[in-house]
Structure 1
Amino acid sequence: MNLGQLGSFLFDQPLLALTIAAILLAVGAGMLGASRPRLGQALRNIGYLGMVAALLLTVAELAGHNSRSEAALWLDRTRPAETVGRETVVAMRADGHFWVEAQLNGQPVEFLIDTGATYTGVSRRVAERVGVQPDADDRGMILETANGSIVARRGTADSLKFGGIEAHALTIAIGPDNEVDTNVIGMNLLSQLAAWRVEGNRLILTPKGR
């Protein structure tokens, strides 16, 4: 391998290049320390920091490839949906579920897309933040959640948007804060679509034609 090939290889492997550079810097600092101790100590500290950075980046990269690790779940985050033509694509997160950042009454809200949920639902705290009030004549309804049965109130959202999907005058189930820790998009929105399907790690939603 000549120098050009070595340079190309290291360019494609930035973590390896960082590790090698940090080690060489630390070794060089040790050799320089006898004649110029302050400079040697400074270079040695930089080399150590480079090695620590390379180690942390390596751990993060490994965690990202291991979708079941706690680190991968921590590093993962909910993203806005992607629009491809008429279709809206939601990527699967590391926990195996489809999450999306949507606009509820113009305010950002993180939702889990749950095909097992009858209604789109939010906590009371989120409902108050986005201006969704319980209907005056609503007496509440019983909903089954992962934590058991809860009593929710019906409200109406002016709009819910993500990607190319828009719903207006959408019924929202407002649950108690201490019993609702996940906002969900349910079948009362998904049933308004022309189609939805899962392909690999992507949820693809198609709105009805206008």
Structure 2
Amino acid sequence: MRLAIPLAIIGGALALLLLFPGEERILGMAPEQLAQFAGLAAFAIVIFGSMLGMFRGQWTRAVQALAFWMAALVMLVGLYSYRDEITVFGNRILGELSPGTVVPGPSGEVSVVRSGGGSFVVDAEVNGRGARFILDTGASVVVLTSETAARIGIDVERLSFSRPVRTANGSTTAAAVTLDTLAVGPIVERRVPALVARPGSLFQNLLGMSFLERLAAYEIRGDRLIMRPRS
């Protein structure tokens, strides 16, 4: 009998949802609001009834226990309501603790915290494999080390290293390739022109303009790199 009323509330809400499918408002509430209200009401009645049974004649303890459960319920509802904001906050904390970690934003943008060395290290995926890049706006294209290229499935030994390039270590040659996908967090670009550096000539992957120019915008704000996709 103790569960009769909660089950009736849930059953009534379910019946209304089945009788009025597709309706924008049912009893003045949106369908999802009606379902949430029914669930919370049933939960509250079960808790209240349990409190009365457990603390019969001990009203002070009953009120204290009821207050505890109501506070817990309010906290859970609040956490659920602000779940997106909490996720963004958690990602930003992770980004601060681990430079290079890509932190997604609420509008599709991503941000990366500057590393201790002063550069922006960006964790990305190339052809579905993880790779770490250094932001280099002076590089006209994305550049991969030969080790990274081999790890993502490029046959380095069959490449033609005929394109002259200039790096911080001097002049060298590289091989032109096209990356199937280059992803930084939720930002995914396809068919990205890139270069593979000659073995031993480069020791860091460079995130160059062949990726950056496809973005709607990118900016450096303090110690944070922010990249926004076009769509």
RMSD: 1.9
Deviations 1:88-109 (A, max 9, x none): 1011001111101111111111
Residues 194 and 133 (structure 1 numbering): CA distance in 2 closer, same or farther, change over 3 Å? farther
Secondary structure of 1:102 counterpart: strand
Structure 1 residue ranges, 4+ long, deviating more than 4 angstroms after superposition: 136-139
Residue matched to 2:164? 142
Query: Which letter maps to 2:102?
Result: A
Question: Deviation at 1:165?
Answer: 1.6
Deviations 1:139-175 (A, max 9, x none): 6211111001110001111111112221111112001
Secondary structure of 2:148 counterpart: helix
Question: Contact (CA 8 Å) 2:181, 2:188: kept in 1 or not?
Answer: yes
Residues 108 and 196 (structure 1 numbering): CA distance in 2 closer, same or farther, change over 3 Å? same
Residues 137 and 95 (structure 1 numbering): CA distance in 2 closer, same or farther, change over 3 Å? closer
Residue matched to 2:29? none
Between the aligned partners of 1:81 and 1:127, the Cα distance in structure 2 is 22
Secondary structure of 2:151 counterpart: helix
Residue 83, structure 1, aligned to residue 83, structure 2: no
Residue matched to 1:201? 223
Question: Deviation at 1:79?
Answer: 3.0
Between the aligned partners of 1:161 and 1:187, the Cα distance in structure 2 is 14
Residue 99, structure 1, aligned to residue 129, structure 2: no
TM-score (norm 1): 0.59
Unmatched runs of 5 consecutive residues or more in structure 1: 1-75
Residues 178 and 196 (structure 1 numbering): CA distance in 2 closer, same or farther, change over 3 Å? same
Residue matched to 1:18? none
Residue matched to 1:189? 211
Secondary structure of 1:192 counterpart: coil
Residue matched to 2:138? 116
Unmatched runs of 5 consecutive residues or more in structure 2: 1-96
Query: Which letter maps to 2:215?
Result: L
Residues 195 and 100 (structure 1 numbering): CA distance in 2 closer, same or farther, change over 3 Å? same
Secondary structure of 1:115 counterpart: coil
Deviations 1:100-130 (A, max 9, x none): 1111111111110111111101111211110
Question: Contact (CA 8 Å) 2:126, 2:182: kept in 1 or not?
Answer: yes
- Number of positions where the alignment pairs a residue of Structure 1 with one of Structure 2: 133
Between the aligned partners of 1:144 and 1:189, the Cα distance in structure 2 is 19
